[in-house]
Amino acid sequence: QLQLVESGGGLVQPGGSLRLSCLASGFTLDYYAIGWFRQAPGKEREGVSCVSSSGGSTNYADSVKGRFTISRDNAKNTVYLQMNSLKPEDTAVYYCAAAFFASGYVWYDSSGFGSWGQGTQVTVSS
């Protein structure tokens, strides 16, 4: 069974950092673009970042550009999201997911992704 498991969330003060991890089990991540999405209470799920299967292409939401960095270590079957300069508006449950197709996906459109993890809570508050 294809499964992704997120970890690394927590409570952090504004300006702080967290690194989220997305570990795959039951399949190898090598062939999949991986996206990070988040959902805050009362809001729709939004795309945060995405990395291509090779790692050669990355995308970021405007709200996180310059603060978040996505990376992948295929040897560890893991994708990371380094989050710096965190703001209260970054508070949300963060999910990772695998794109259904190797190309043609819209990186911020969650309907093109599957094998969703259970999510990890990120709370930015003083």
Phi, psi of 29 (to 5 degrees): -75, -10
What pLDDT, on a 0 to 100 scale, did the predictor assign at position 16? 98
* Both tokens assigned to 118: 């259970």
User: What pLDDT sits at residue 4?
Assistant: 94
Name the amino acid, one letter, at 16: G
> Residue 51 has what pLDDT?
96
Q: For residue 15, give the amino acid letter.
A: G
Give, as one character, the DSSP assignment of residue 108: T
pLDDT at 69: 98
The first and second tokens of residue 49, run together, are 């970042």
At 28 the pLDDT is 86
Strands (E), 9-91: 10-12, 18-25, 34-39, 46-51, 58-60, 68-73, 78-83
pLDDT tens track, the chain, 126 positions: 678 999 999 999 999 999 999 999 888 888 899 999 999 999 999 999 999 998 889 999 999 999 999 999 989 999 999 999 999 999 999 999 999 887 778 999 999 999 998 999 999 999
